[in-house]
Amino acid sequence: MARIATKDIIPISRARARLTELADDVSKSGQEKVFTRNGESYVALITAGQLDDYRRFKEAEHLSMLKALVEAAEDIEAGRVYTWDEFKPRLARLRAKAKRIAGA
Q: Of residues 38 and 3, which shows the higher confidence score?
A: 38
Residue 104 has pLDDT above 80, yes or no: no
Edge-to-edge order in the sheet of strand 33-37: 9-11, 33-37, 40-45
For the chain, how many structural domains are there in total?
2
- Specify the pLDDT at position 4: 85
Whether residue 33 lies inside any domain: the answer is yes
Which uninterrupted H or E stretch holds 42? Answer: strand 40-45
Task: Report the half-sphere exposure of 35 (CA within 13 A, side-chain side).
Answer: 17
> 20 and 63: one domain?
no
> 61 and 40: one domain?
no
Residue 12 near residue 35, CB atoms below 8 Å: yes
Whether residue 56 lies inside any domain: the answer is yes
Residue 32 near residue 8, CB atoms below 8 Å: yes
pLDDT tens column, 64-94: 999 999 999 999 999 999 999 999 999 999 9
- Specify the pLDDT at position 3: 81
Residue 36 near residue 9, CB atoms below 8 Å: yes
Model pTM? Answer: 0.68
Q: Please, what's the b/e burial string for 31-49 (b: 16 or more CB within 10 A of its CB; e: otherwise)?
A: eebbbbeeeeeeeebbbee
Residue 2 has pLDDT above 90, yes or no: no
> 41 and 71: one domain?
no
pLDDT tens column, 14-59: 999 999 999 999 999 999 999 999 999 999 999 999 999 999 999 9
